[in-house]
Structure 1
Amino acid sequence: MQVTAQNWPYPRWIAHRGAGKLAPENTLAAFRLGAQHGYRMFECDVKLSADGVPFLLHDDTLERTSTGTGIAGEQPWSALARLDAGSWHSRSQAGEPMPTLDNIAAFCQRNGLFLNIEIKPSPGADRLTGEKVADAAARLWQGQAVPPLLTSFSVASLEGAQATQPNLPRGLLLETLWDGWLQTAQRLGCIAIVCDHTLWTAETVAQVKAAGLRSASYTVNDAASAQRLAVLGTDGVITDRIDLFAPAV
């Protein structure tokens, strides 16, 4: 289907990096746990290995969430695939590998799940990462009813995605409301704004709605914030607290 702001198929609740902080982020173990909690949509970070394989990792470097060292994007997938991406979290997750986007696509499709891919380029690879991740997403979800939502803080990454796969839905990620943010989202053909939840006010929600776009938030981990966003009429909530929020609510 062609996903637009008007034809929006995604559920309201989205599990951050698979299962928030309850499992090693951006791994299949996290996706499995999120699904066990009833979540139907997941957010994850995708970047490129040195040889162009799209895989899941948030940071530029490997140290925080794996047994590797250095800049992830400078290493081939054959080296990255051997790393332990679970033992940093807990002993029970030791040996969990970093998944490729192909792995995650297969899991989501077999289980009828939705995906938000945050394009997370390594330094200097913004446009290329947008192009390659979008191409991979188009290939992997070809023939599927609902494609993934591609988002990024990087304008160049979204430009790359727009140029190569214009029919895939896109969203602009914002940490601050910098000058021209809404006009930039419109130029990029985005259907959603995804921002720090504290940036949503009655005025900013009204601006986005008037522009014909959807509104979503990261990272919402307390009930008061979730309720405030519901009252404002926003459309999506990304959370670490899959244990606190029932996704059907």
Structure 2
Amino acid sequence: MAQLEQFTTPVDTVVSRMRALDAALPERDGIAVFNRVYLAVTEEVDRQIDAGRFTDPAAAITLDVRFARRYLAAVDAAADDRRPPACWRPLFQFRRHPGVRPVQFALAGINAHIGHDLALAVVDACRSLECEPAELEDEFDRVGDLLVTLEERVREDLMPGPDLLQIADPLTHLIGSWSLERARDATWAAARALWALRRLPDVAEEFTERLDAAVGFAGRMLLTPLPGVFEKARAAGV
């Protein structure tokens, strides 16, 4: 129990930081939209850890904290006029664009965080815990299952209603082109590859840069402005 308490404070710290961001950012800011989604996930992970639903609580907390810190580091970089990782740049660039819908912001943030940050967080956690990725697979899968459930809720809550399906058809097509399940599978493969490459730092660095760029490209596609959809939806009161 003492060992678990030792790991609890960092989770509380990242949750507090995300709550502060939620309070400070305008509601429709793209970062705020994603932050609300991610805060809900982190709070749920914390509740499940406290309820004993993770096989290895210390490993789960380590992975959760390493994961969250990468997102918060991107926020800090943008606030300090430094360049965040390529996977995050589209969201920061388009965060106030009137032609981008909230569901696009949410999924672009999930894409950046899952597609890039989670793979690196697995490697960070393995180094910290001195273990192999396979030893974190249960924790990875449980966090992934929570994200899939949340993604479904995001699509339900932020997509236009049935009366706007014709208006939102381009948006429906765009959002339907991305899958968290596929992103999660690719992330686990990337984490294992990076771990295997840890003794080849030049190759690992190139792999990481290409992963970052590829995830950023997907994020830019998810944030394609749809001004016609936006204007008509606004006129309809949504």
Instruction: Please report the TM-score for the alignment, with normalisation by the length of structure 2.
Output: 0.27
Larger-Rg structure: 2
Greater length-normalized contact order (CA 8 Å, ≥ 6 residues apart): 2
Bigger proportion of residues as strand: 1
Bigger proportion of residues as helix: 2
